[in-house]
Amino acid sequence: MTVMCEGQQAFAVGRAAQELELRSGEFELATQLGEVRTVPAGAEDRPGAAGPLGRRRVPAQEIARLQAEPGFPDVLRERIRTVGTNEAAELMRIGPGRFQRLTRAGCFGPVRFYVNRFGAVVWLYLAAEIAEFADREPELLRGNTPAAMRVVLDGGQDWRPRQWRARRVAQLMGQTDDPWESAAVIAAVLPPEELASVVEDPRERLLLRRLRPVFASVMTATVAARESFERVLAAEEFDEVMWYRVNLTRALEAARKEDPGRHRSPVVRQPARERNQPPSFRNSPSWTTETSILPSRS
52-83 tens-digit pLDDT: 444 779 999 999 999 999 999 999 999 999 99
Q: Would you say residue 154 has pLDDT above 80?
A: yes
188-215 tens-digit pLDDT: 999 999 999 999 999 999 999 999 998 9
Return d(Cα 63, Cα 20) in angstroms, integer: 7
pTM, rounded to two decimals: 0.81
pLDDT average, residue stretch 152-169:
95
Q: What is the pLDDT of residue 52?
A: 45
Nearest CA to 161 out of 212, 232, 105 is that of: 232
Domain ranges for the chain, please list them: 2-78, 82-158, 161-287
Q: What is the pLDDT of residue 123?
A: 97
Question: What would the DSSP string read from start to end of 184-231?
Answer: HHHHTTS-HHHHHHH---HHHHHHHHHTPPP-------SHHHHHHHHH
Q: Would you say residue 272 has pLDDT above 80?
A: no
Q: Kindly report the average pLDDT of the chain as a whole number.
A: 84
In terms of C-beta distances under 8 Å and separation of at least 24 residues, what long-range contacts does 174-178 make, across chains too? Answer: 174/275, 174/277, 174/278, 174/279, 174/295, 175/52, 175/213, 175/272, 175/273, 175/274, 175/275, 175/278, 176/272, 176/273, 176/275, 177/297, 178/269, 178/272
- In the chain, DSSP finds a helix count (H) and a strand count (E) of 14, 7
Alpha-carbon Rg for the chain in angstroms: 20
